[in-house]
Copies of this chain bind each other. A is one copy, B any other.
Amino acid sequence: MNDFEFFYPIKNYFGKGSAKTALKKELPKYGKNILLAYGGGSIKHNGIYEELIELIEAAGKTITEFSGIMSNPTYAKVQEGAALARKHQIDFILAVGGGSVSDCCKAVSAQAKLDTDLYEYEYTEHKVPKQGIPMGVIVTAAGTGSEQNAGAVITHEEKNWKGALWGTAASFAVLDSYYTKTLPMKQVLSGAFDTLSHCMETYLGAPREANLSDQMNESVMRSVIVNIRKLKLDPENMEARSELMWASAMAENGILKIGKQTDFQCHMIEHQLGAYTDCNHGCGLAVIHPELYRHLAPVAPKQYARLAVEVFGVDSLGKSELETALLGIDQLAAFIKEIGLPTTLKEMDITEDKILRAVADTTVLMPGCAKKLTPDEIFEILLAVKG
* B1 and A16 within 8 A (CB): no
Who on chain B is nearest to A242 by CB? Answer: B1
Residues in chain B near residue A250, CB distance under 8 A: 212, 216
CB distance from A348 to the nearest CB of B (A): 30
Who on chain B is nearest to A173 by CB? Answer: B6
Considering the chains assembled together, what is the distance between the CA atoms of A217 and B9 in angstroms? 22
Considering the chains assembled together, what is the distance between the CA atoms of A223 and B242 in angstroms? 27
Per-residue 0/1 for A199-242: is the Cβ within 8 Å of any B Cβ (1 yes, 0 no)?
00000000001011001101110110000000000000001001
Which residues in chain A, 232-286, are within 8 Å of chain B measured between CB atoms? 239, 242-243, 246-247, 250, 255, 258-259
Considering the chains assembled together, what is the distance between the CA atoms of A87 and B13 in angstroms? 40
Who on chain B is nearest to A7 by CB? Answer: B11
* A5 and B1 within 8 A (CB): no
* B14 and A239 within 8 A (CB): no
CB distance from A257 to the nearest CB of B (A): 13
CB distance from A192 to the nearest CB of B (A): 13
Residues in chain B near residue A16, CB distance under 8 A: 3
* A216 and B211 within 8 A (CB): no
CB distance from A143 to the nearest CB of B (A): 15
Residues in chain B near residue A3, CB distance under 8 A: 14-16, 18
* A223 and B219 within 8 A (CB): no
When the two chains form the complex, which single residue of B1, B211, B246 contacts A14, counting CB atoms closer than 8 Å?
B1
CB of A123 within 8 A of chain B?
no
Which residues in chain A, 124-163, are within 8 Å of chain B measured between CB atoms? none
Residues in chain B near residue A212, CB distance under 8 A: 219-220, 223, 243, 246-247, 250
Q: Which of A14, A212, A247 has the most CB of B within 10 A?
A: A212
Residues in chain B near residue A7, CB distance under 8 A: 9-12
Residues in chain B near residue A12, CB distance under 8 A: 4-7
* B9 and A15 within 8 A (CB): no
CB distance from A350 to the nearest CB of B (A): 34
* B14 and A5 within 8 A (CB): yes
Which residues in chain A, 3-38, are within 8 Å of chain B measured between CB atoms? 3-16, 18, 21
Considering the chains assembled together, what is the distance between the CA atoms of A216 and B199 in angstroms? 13
* B8 and A15 within 8 A (CB): no
Considering the chains assembled together, what is the distance between the CA atoms of A15 and B3 in angstroms? 4
Residues in chain B near residue A242, CB distance under 8 A: 1
CB distance from A73 to the nearest CB of B (A): 27
* A5 and B13 within 8 A (CB): yes
Considering the chains assembled together, what is the distance between the CA atoms of A261 and B215 in angstroms? 24
Residues in chain B near residue A255, CB distance under 8 A: 255
Considering the chains assembled together, what is the distance between the CA atoms of A1 and B250 in angstroms? 13
Residues in chain B near residue A11, CB distance under 8 A: 5-7
When the two chains form the complex, which single residue of B2, B9, B18, B219 contacts A216, counting CB atoms closer than 8 Å?
B219
Considering the chains assembled together, what is the distance between the CA atoms of A21 and B4 in angstroms? 11
A-B contact pairs, 8 of them (CB 8 A): A5-B14, A6-B11, A14-B258, A14-B259, A211-B243, A212-B246, A212-B247, A215-B223
Given contacts A212-B247, A215-B223, 9 further A-B contacts (CB under 8 A): A1-B239, A2-B15, A3-B16, A5-B13, A5-B21, A14-B259, A215-B222, A216-B216, A255-B255
